[in-house]
Amino acid sequence: DIQMTQSPASLSASLGETVTIECRASEDIYSNLAWYQQKPGNSPQLLIYDANSLADGVPSRFSGSGSGTQYSLKINSLQSEDVASYFCQQYNNYPPTFGAGTKLELK
Amino acid sequence: QVQLKESGPGLVQPSETLSLTCTVSGFSLTSYSVSWVRQPSGKGPEWMGRMWYDGDTAYNSALKSRLSISRDTSKNQVFLKMNSLQTDDTGTYYCTRGPNWFAYWGQGTLVTVSS
């Protein structure tokens, strides 16, 4: 199975700041990567697919980039509603696998 | 609109079988695949298996010996059965739609394995 390693595990940032979360795959996943946001008590919500395509209804302050084994999620101008956990997921190989998550808090 | 909803028992005894139902609306099970994903508290999600739109199934090899996924298209339902449950099977179980990425999720159902 492809291992997905996220960093950092937790992150504290101020309102208005730009935040970057990294995800590394154990092998090349050819941009077959999605990012999700999960608020406490809620289901994961799709943010990004195909590494850099914004899902419907997702604010443009979210963006994804990367290739090969290295990917990142960037949040520009952090808002209070962005406090959540974020997960990456690869779908290049079976089974689809997720990262362990990054917990984003306000400073 | 697209909706998925999980249902089933919240508490299962160790070594027993878990049975969950995912009831969908807003789309046809013969046009879209539905996956089961579980998530232990505070950890990342784990993909368990999928019911394809054509009725075929795919399973995570780590769970394949214990897991069965089926469906009833007339009732718009997908079923999960997993046997020999242990305490580390405790978590929230979701059904979700999507070919590769998962754009639609149910609310999840918490399953606790305990005597």
- The fraction of chain A above a pLDDT of 90, given in percent, is 100
Nearest to A101 among B35, B44, B62 (CB): B44
d(CA A49, nearest CA chain B) in Å: 7
Nearest residue of B to residue A103, measured between CA atoms: B42
pLDDT digits (tens, 9 = 90+) for B55-101: 999 999 999 999 999 999 999 999 999 999 999 999 999 999 987 99
Which chain A positions have a beta carbon within 8 Å of B108's beta carbon? 43
Burial B77-110 (b: 16+ CB within 10 A, else e): bbbbebeebeeebbbbbbbbbbeebbebbbebbe
Residue B98: what pLDDT? Answer: 81
Q: Residue B40 in 3-state DSSP?
A: coil
The whole-angstrom separation of Cα B72 and Cα A25 is 36
The whole-angstrom separation of Cα A72 and Cα A95 is 21
What does DSSP say about strands A84-90 and A33-38: parallel, antiparallel, or unpaired? antiparallel
The residue type at A56: D
pLDDT digits (tens, 9 = 90+) for A10-59: 999 999 999 999 999 999 999 999 999 999 999 999 999 999 999 999 99
Chain B positions contacting chain A at CB under 8 Å are 35, 43-47, 58, 60-62, 94, 100-103, 105-108
| Closest C-alpha to B73, from B14, B20, B30, B11 | B30
Q: Cβ contact (<8 Å) for B43 and A99? A: no
The whole-angstrom separation of Cα B90 and Cα B45 is 12
Whether the bond into B45 is cis, omega within 30 of 0: no
pLDDT digits (tens, 9 = 90+) for A63-86: 999 999 999 999 999 999 999 999
Chain A positions contacting chain B at CB under 8 Å are 1, 32, 34, 36, 43-46, 49-50, 55-56, 87, 89, 91, 94-101
SS3 content of chain B, % helix, strand, coil (to 5): 5, 50, 45
The torsion angles phi and psi of B74, rounded to 5 degrees, stand at -70, -25
Examine the pLDDT at A90 and tell me if it is beyond 80: yes
Nearest residue of B to residue A92, measured between CA atoms: B100
Q: Cβ contact (<8 Å) for B108 and A43? A: yes
Contact B25/B76 with Cβ under 8 angstroms?
yes
Q: Residue B101 in 3-state DSSP?
A: coil
d(CA B45, nearest CA chain A) in Å: 6
- Residue A9 CB neighbours (<10 A): 10
Most distant CA pair in chain A, distance? 38
The whole-angstrom separation of Cα B80 and Cα B3 is 18
What value does the mean pLDDT of chain B take? Answer: 96
